[in-house]
């Protein structure tokens, strides 16, 4: 491993996420030279810089070549890729974080997919989401992904998980940002979901492999979610929800911010109403609102014609190829629609989320009575 890359790995063990003192030193000297400066004893530069001298006292007790070696071995076993600023896969939007930018990224999945996050939207919200919150997250994420917009979230229960699953169902791109090492699925109940995300997108963390998720790392992880995406949409959040932390990072970075309104009697939507009332978040009621927010033209993807009737498009072709009484497998539907099986599978996934089609052991059929 090259000296600069090894020094970068050492640095991500020395510091906690978002350490601005480390960020300032690394941006000025680079990982290897900065490490030599910190490890050296009685350096004039450190004596003259009170902040760095103080930072050195918290960094050096964490210096452990054993921990570095363990992390590298774990990364190798899990197929995890280290991505640094020197790599072409580095997502440049993270540089907007300045001295609070991550030292590096640990990526499980395809690192090159991090370059496909333009356009992208962060869909976040409460872990203890209501059925309303999960339903809205599914609708928004599936619609966005079906139109080529990548979705970023945190891999958690509730809104995050619903958004990730919706994107996967329509064959879109989704990226999960974790607070701990990507070799340690968290929450454990989402291990299978994170595997699926890594198979087609990426699971990412700035914490080295083997790291445990902590409250501080969750809060700092949120800045990465906000920085990677062009807009952050809070679907559902309580008054003190961690999703409001992500929204704060988005606002600080001058990213677009949206919030979904909920029932005024629901405590689960108190945080989104707060964003709408006090922080200038845009009211989001559909994926069309989000596309408008990030400056995407709606006309090419509109499913409604000027006279109000549904436009004849690929979705209509797939619906027409289905029966309300007879189960049909994907290749049969594709043949009847004159489309490829992959195209049909993506559309069927979206229709399934909408409740328009039913899936069974023998294939698919329309959910209504129309044949």
pLDDT (average), residues 141-165? 96
pLDDT digits (tens, 9 = 90+) for 294-351: 998 654 344 443 333 344 478 888 988 998 888 999 999 988 888 888 788 878 887 8
DSSP H helical segments within 79-158, as ranges? Answer: 131-146
Torsion on CA atoms 17, 22, 26, 32, rounded to nearest 10: -90
Burial status of residue 219 (CB atoms within 10 A of its CB: 0-12, 13-18, 19 or more): middle
Q: Which helix (H) or strand (E) holds 258?
A: strand 256-259
**pTM, whole model, 2 decimals?**
0.80
Fold of 107-293: Rossmann fold (3.40.50)
Q: Which two tokens stand for residue 350?
A: 């979206």
pLDDT of amino acid 252: 94
The answer to whether the beta carbons of residues 5 and 84 sit under 8 Å apart is: yes
Paired tokens of 242? 């961690």
Candidates 3.40.718.10, 3.40.50.2300, 1.10.10.10, 1.10.150.20; CATH matching 314-366 = 1.10.10.10
Pick the closest to residue 329 from 361, 368, 297 (CA basis): 361
Annotated domain spans of the chain: 3-63, 107-293, 314-366
Nearest Cα neighbor of 144 from 165, 167, 124, 164 is 167
pLDDT in tens, 48-95: 566 788 898 899 999 999 999 999 999 999 999 999 999 999 999 999
117-148 confidence digits (pLDDT tens): 999 999 999 999 999 999 999 999 999 999 99
Q: What is the largest CA-CA distance in the chain?
A: 82
């Amino acid at each position: 491993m090259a000296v600069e890359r090894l020094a970068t790995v050492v640095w991500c063990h020395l510091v906690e996420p978002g350490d601005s003192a480390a960020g300032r030193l690394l941006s000025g000297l680079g990982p290897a030279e900065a490490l030599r400066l910190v490890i050296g004893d009685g350096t004039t530069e450190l004596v003259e810089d009170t902040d760095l001298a103080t930072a050195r006292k918290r960094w050096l007790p964490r210096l452990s070549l054993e921990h570095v070696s363990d992390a590298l071995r774990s990364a190798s076993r899990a197929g995890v890729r280290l991505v640094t600023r020197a790599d072409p896969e580095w997502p440049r939007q993270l540089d907007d974080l300045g001295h609070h930018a991550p030292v590096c990224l640990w990526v499980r999945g395809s690192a090159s997919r991090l370059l496909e996050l333009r356009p992208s939207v962060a869909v976040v919200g409460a872990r203890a989401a209501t059925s309303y919150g999960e339903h809205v997250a599914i609708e928004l994420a599936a619609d966005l992904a079906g139109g080529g917009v990548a979705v970023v979230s945190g891999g958690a229960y509730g809104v995050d998980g619903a958004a990730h699953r919706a994107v996967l169902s329509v064959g879109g791109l989704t990226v999960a940002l974790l607070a701990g090492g990507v070799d340690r699925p968290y929450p454990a109940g989402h291990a299978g979901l994170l595997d699926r995300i890594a198979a087609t997108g990426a699971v990412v963390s700035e914490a080295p492999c083997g790291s445990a998720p902590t409250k501080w790392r969750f809060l700092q992880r949120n800045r990465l979610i906000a920085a990677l995406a062009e807009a952050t949409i809070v679907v559902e959040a309580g008054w003190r929800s961690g999703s409001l932390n992500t929204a704060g990072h988005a606002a600080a970075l001058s990213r677009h911010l949206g919030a979904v309104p909920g029932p005024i009697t629901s405590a689960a939507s108190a945080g989104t109403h707060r964003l709408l009332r006090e922080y200038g978040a845009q009211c989001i009621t559909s994926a069309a609102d989000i596309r408008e927010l990030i400056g995407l033209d709606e006309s090419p993807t509109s499913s409604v014609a000027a006279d109000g009737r549904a436009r004849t498009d690929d979705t209509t072709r797939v619906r027409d190829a289905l029966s309300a009484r007879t189960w049909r497998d994907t290749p049969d539907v594709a043949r009847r629609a004159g489309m490829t099986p992959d195209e049909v599978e993506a559309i069927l996934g979206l229709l399934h989320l909408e409740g328009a089609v039913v899936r069974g052991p023998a294939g698919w059929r329309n959910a209504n009575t129309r044949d």
